[in-house]
Amino acid sequence: MPSTPAARSPRAALAELLGGNRRFVSGQPLHGHDVTAAAAVASGDQQPYAVLLGCIDSRVPLEAIFDQTFGSICVIRTGAHVLDRAVCGSIEYVVGQLGVRLVMVLGHERCGAVGSAVDALRTGRRPGGALAYVVDRIAPAVLEVGVDDPAAHPL
């Protein structure tokens, strides 16, 4: 078995997820999630009272850090809170169709997506693929606060 969870093979990762789902469905979760609350929510209409926009960082599970049960909040996650049409449309749905009146945006320390933007600005090397989109959206904020004069290395 690899030493870190991220080093697991795709097959091992899928097996872990499916095993966790079996434990959840059987009412025997290992990580303290109230399965009876999930069953109650699943049988009725959604009635969340807030939508939280958070980063994709796996160390910041929003339901856990706010001690919320299933169905009480809608969670949207993107790298460094980058907004695109899908995210905005999702927020509009929750507010307009579900009547949620609170939208909260949460930041955190040591964000990897922000770090990628800082690195790109410092080195002048823009990443490829879809990560470039995320970096391009974050770069103006990095430039505004200034990090080792990234303006000297525009993307």
What are 72-84's pLDDT values in tens digits? 899 999 999 899 9
- Written as six digits, the tokens of 150 are 């990234």
Instruction: Assign a CATH topology to domain 44-106.
Output: Beta-carbonic Anhydrase; Chain A (3.40.1050)
Domain ranges (residues) in the chain: 1-32, 44-106, 112-152
Residue 2 has pLDDT above 60, yes or no: no
Percent of the chain with pLDDT over 90: 50
pTM listed for this prediction: 0.75
DSSP string, 24-69: HHTT--SS---HHHHHHHHTS----SEEEEE---TT--HHHHTT--
Report pLDDT digits (tens) over 94-145.
Answer: 999 999 999 999 988 889 999 999 999 999 999 999 999 999 999 999 999 8
